[in-house]
Chains A and B, each alone.
Chain A
């Protein structure tokens, strides 16, 4: 266990996540893992990790750390935002770019505000004990990740490397598109038969808003109510990330990474796997439209999305080592703060 980062401030909800906990759903254990699979993979790619390394998933507000290892390579994937090094006057490393920090550096994660969840990766990954085969945090039952909970001030995060060699830091060619206006594609079912034809119409043509009561378990939507043909209870059935269940309130809930494994409400549709990350980065207040596709379409889209992701990763290119004040950095900071500091 190599101490790497010490939390000066924990951020609103920062949890250690990996690709999820597979193989225990039959005993009621949710998959968990990064809500935005792509953000997680891209953050790992920036610091040279293979898929599977544990990252920090950041929701709501960014944490602040002191580097306590000899050196650490680190990168943020968010939307806008980035890493402020050593306070407001220090260098600013935008989201989507790696950097190497050394002992006693102070690192503040600034979120851009557009993405619901952001990912902070370090080279070689965060070292927390494997729990049922995964490093993902499942806060509801308080296991996995860092002590089964979000970070708190004073927590010390461990890694697998005390020192990382200098190398060209890397960045992606273009900023990542979050697809905030894109329709979320679904395959109807498994229980679309439990809904009236009018409800299916409403669901596919209405506009929904993600409510603030949304979290890693599920995104609760406000919008046109969806009427069941008769009862809204079914005998419990399996759930996947993306299942859209409709309880007695008639308002849909999209189940996400921490969702329970079984449920007794009919599921009108299921978000296709390629669009789970697209939905995950939209937080409370954002709108969602749904579009119906076939399962075959869903599989084709997923394949294309995966190729696109591999292309983005293969397009990583070196950035200048000069981390002084740059136009791009100032532009980013002004976007975040919404003010221009005339003295900067």
Chain B
């Protein structure tokens, strides 16, 4: 792998750039390299943050220099094989009923499908978690079926309720927190995607896979109650990447 650049974020981080696009191949390389660097235990590195196309390697400039880290990383990038990683495939309940999906009719009209067809297409695809950002636990997942790809809304909402399932461009996501948002809301999940009381914080990690399972409104309520009682964990199976 020679096609990478190491950029500088002052004496706080090195940015290892493996591409400039949202692309599954680039993402796989980013996540494999994150694994390699984590296993190597780079001295002075404090955190490695994976994005769509780069890794942000935070370091403490009192204990390491950028030049040393850069040399260590360059050697590892070149030598990095496909590090085998254990990932999880998650089964995530979603209610696509219009009451839980304020934009699904509008999306359906725009793309020339019925709301039921939008839901079926969305739930019929397995998604890759590219990265987590924006707010704690917010998963950028892709790729959406081509028929469902739309630009962001012209009028972003100032408040998107937590649990909202959203789509925009080639991505889908669930808002873990109430926040502003410009994506189209086509469902709601009763699952908690971020829990600061847990040891790991977020349910999903970059590299995981997600399938959405349509549930009825009553099933949604049942699961949400169980989630609130800390009595529900979505099913997941391990797979090797």
- For this complex, into which size category does the number of interface residues on chain B fall? 35 or more
In the assembled complex, the Cα of A148 lies from the Cα of B22 at a distance in Å of: 34
Please name all residues of chain A whose beta carbon is closer than 8 Å to the beta carbon of B197 when the two chains form the complex: 131
In the assembled complex, the Cα of A94 lies from the Cα of B194 at a distance in Å of: 43
In the assembled complex, the Cα of A260 lies from the Cα of B136 at a distance in Å of: 8
Please name all residues of chain B whose beta carbon is closer than 8 Å to the beta carbon of A299 when the two chains form the complex: 11, 61, 65-66
Please name all residues of chain A whose beta carbon is closer than 8 Å to the beta carbon of B61 when the two chains form the complex: 273, 298-299, 302-303
Once the chains bind, are B135 and A273 in contact (CB under 8 Å)? no
In the assembled complex, the Cα of A17 lies from the Cα of B138 at a distance in Å of: 24
Known contacts A270-B12, A272-B11; is-contact A27 B51 (Cβ 8 Å): no
Please name all residues of chain B whose beta carbon is closer than 8 Å to the beta carbon of A23 when the two chains form the complex: 47
Once the chains bind, are A144 and B196 in contact (CB under 8 Å)? yes
Once the chains bind, are B56 and A240 in contact (CB under 8 Å)? yes
Please name all residues of chain B whose beta carbon is closer than 8 Å to the beta carbon of A186 when the two chains form the complex: 10
Contact of B10 among A141, A148, A270 (CB under 8 A): A270
Q: Which of B79-87, B118-126, B200-208 contacts A (4 or more CB under 8 A)?
A: B200-208
A311 interfacial contact with B, CB 8 Å:
no
A237 interfacial contact with B, CB 8 Å:
yes
Once the chains bind, are B54 and A238 in contact (CB under 8 Å)? yes
Q: Which of B48-82 contact A (CB under 8 A)?
A: 48-56, 58, 61-62, 65-67
Please name all residues of chain B whose beta carbon is closer than 8 Å to the beta carbon of A242 when the two chains form the complex: 9-10, 12
Contact of B135 among A140, A144, A187, A267 (CB under 8 A): A140
19 extra A-B contacts, CB within 8 A, seeds A26-B206, A238-B9, A303-B61:
A25-B47, A28-B202, A187-B8, A187-B10, A189-B9, A190-B15, A236-B133, A237-B56, A238-B56, A240-B9, A240-B10, A240-B12, A240-B13, A241-B12, A295-B66, A296-B67, A299-B11, A299-B61, A299-B66
Q: Which of A11-42 contact B (CB under 8 A)?
A: 22-30
A235 interfacial contact with B, CB 8 Å:
yes
In the assembled complex, the Cα of A260 lies from the Cα of B131 at a distance in Å of: 13
Closest A residue to B177 using CB positions: A141
In the complex, how many angstroms separate the beta carbon of A286 from the nearest chain B beta carbon?
21
Once the chains bind, are B136 and A26 in contact (CB under 8 Å)? no
In the assembled complex, the Cα of A282 lies from the Cα of B34 at a distance in Å of: 36
Report A116-134 CB contacts with B as 1/0, cut-off 8 Å.
0000000000000001100
Once the chains bind, are B62 and A270 in contact (CB under 8 Å)? no
Closest B residue to A262 using CB positions: B133
Once the chains bind, are A262 and B9 in contact (CB under 8 Å)? no
B21 interfacial contact with A, CB 8 Å:
yes
A160 interfacial contact with B, CB 8 Å:
no
In the complex, how many angstroms separate the beta carbon of A11 from the nearest chain B beta carbon?
24
A243 interfacial contact with B, CB 8 Å:
yes
A340 interfacial contact with B, CB 8 Å:
no
Report B13-40 CB contacts with A as 1/0, cut-off 8 Å.
1010100111000000000001000000
Once the chains bind, are A295 and B8 in contact (CB under 8 Å)? yes
A99 interfacial contact with B, CB 8 Å:
no
A44 interfacial contact with B, CB 8 Å:
no
In the assembled complex, the Cα of A263 lies from the Cα of B134 at a distance in Å of: 7
Please name all residues of chain B whose beta carbon is closer than 8 Å to the beta carbon of A25 when the two chains form the complex: 47, 49, 56, 58
In the assembled complex, the Cα of A30 lies from the Cα of B136 at a distance in Å of: 8
Once the chains bind, are B20 and A298 in contact (CB under 8 Å)? no
In the assembled complex, the Cα of A30 lies from the Cα of B177 at a distance in Å of: 14
In the assembled complex, the Cα of A178 lies from the Cα of B132 at a distance in Å of: 37
Q: Which 8 A-B pairs have the closest CB atoms?
A: A238-B56, A262-B133, A27-B202, A190-B7, A270-B10, A143-B196, A298-B11, A187-B10
B109 interfacial contact with A, CB 8 Å:
no
Closest A residue to B206 using CB positions: A26
Once the chains bind, are B11 and A295 in contact (CB under 8 Å)? yes
A59 interfacial contact with B, CB 8 Å:
no
Q: Which of A171-220 contact B (CB under 8 A)?
A: 186-187, 189-191
In the complex, how many angstroms separate the beta carbon of A12 from the nearest chain B beta carbon?
23
In the assembled complex, the Cα of A248 lies from the Cα of B204 at a distance in Å of: 31
Once the chains bind, are B7 and A303 in contact (CB under 8 Å)? no
Once the chains bind, are B10 and A238 in contact (CB under 8 Å)? no
Once the chains bind, are B202 and A243 in contact (CB under 8 Å)? no
In the assembled complex, the Cα of A75 lies from the Cα of B145 at a distance in Å of: 59
Please name all residues of chain A whose beta carbon is closer than 8 Å to the beta carbon of B140 when the two chains form the complex: 236
Known contacts A187-B8, A235-B20, A271-B10; is-contact A141 B50 (Cβ 8 Å): no
In the assembled complex, the Cα of A30 lies from the Cα of B201 at a distance in Å of: 12
Please name all residues of chain B whose beta carbon is closer than 8 Å to the beta carbon of A144 when the two chains form the complex: 196
Contact of B196 among A141, A261, A263, A272 (CB under 8 A): A141
Contact of A236 among B12, B34, B131, B137 (CB under 8 A): B131
In the assembled complex, the Cα of A24 lies from the Cα of B132 at a distance in Å of: 10
In the assembled complex, the Cα of A272 lies from the Cα of B66 at a distance in Å of: 13
Known contacts A23-B47, A141-B135, A141-B177; is-contact A303 B62 (Cβ 8 Å): yes
In the complex, how many angstroms separate the beta carbon of B193 from the nearest chain A beta carbon?
10
Known contacts A25-B58, A27-B205, A235-B21; is-contact A273 B11 (Cβ 8 Å): yes
In the assembled complex, the Cα of A269 lies from the Cα of B67 at a distance in Å of: 18
Please name all residues of chain B whose beta carbon is closer than 8 Å to the beta carbon of A262 when the two chains form the complex: 49, 51, 131, 133-134
